[in-house]
């Protein structure tokens, strides 16, 4: 059954997420992906076969848009490659998004290894 997954990445992590998506393109293809603006563009350029809906850029409200989808129970999982070493001006939005993921019990992977575990654990079925 197709799922709706959110894919998000901080600027320095966008290429890493695009690499991960390309590596797992076949497993992601049946699903609907919701991405923040720039992240969605990077992934779409790398993986044109994926069904990607882009919301606003994270600092312009995209994190909050995805948060609203979590509250509406329209997101089954989140892959959010964060950059823990760079300051983020919209850090409060990121914290709100991760808080909603926990409150609504939505699995969230914040690194390549946890995204791999989400895939291997069967949440994202090939």
For residues 112 and 82, the answer to whether their CB atoms sit within 8 Å is no
For residues 37 and 54, the answer to whether their CB atoms sit within 8 Å is yes
Q: Is 14 helix (H, G, I), strand (E, B) or coil?
A: helix
Q: What are phi and psi of 45, to 5 degrees?
A: -65, -35
Query: Of 19, 51, 63, 105, which is the active-site residue?
Result: 63
64: its two tokens: 């909050």
Is 63 designated active site?
yes
Dump strand ranges (E) for the chain: 4-9, 32-35, 51-54, 77-81, 108-109
**Roughly what angle, to the nearest 10 degrees, separates helices 62-71 and 91-103?**
10
Active site residues: 63
């Amino acid at each position: 059954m197709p799922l709706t997954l959110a894919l998000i990445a901080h600027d320095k992590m966008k290429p890493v997420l695009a690499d991960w998506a390309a590596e797992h393109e076949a497993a992601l293809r049946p699903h609907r992906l919701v991405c923040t603006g720039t992240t969605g563009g990077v992934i779409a350029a790398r993986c044109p076969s994926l069904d990607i809906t882009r919301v606003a850029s994270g600092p312009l409200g995209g994190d909050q848009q995805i948060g609203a989808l979590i509250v509406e129970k329209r997101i089954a999982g989140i892959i959010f490659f964060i950059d823990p070493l760079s300051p983020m001006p919209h850090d409060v939005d990121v914290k709100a998004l991760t808080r909603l993921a926990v409150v609504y019990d939505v699995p969230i992977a914040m690194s390549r290894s946890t995204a791999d575990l989400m895939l291997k654990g069967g949440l994202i079925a090939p």
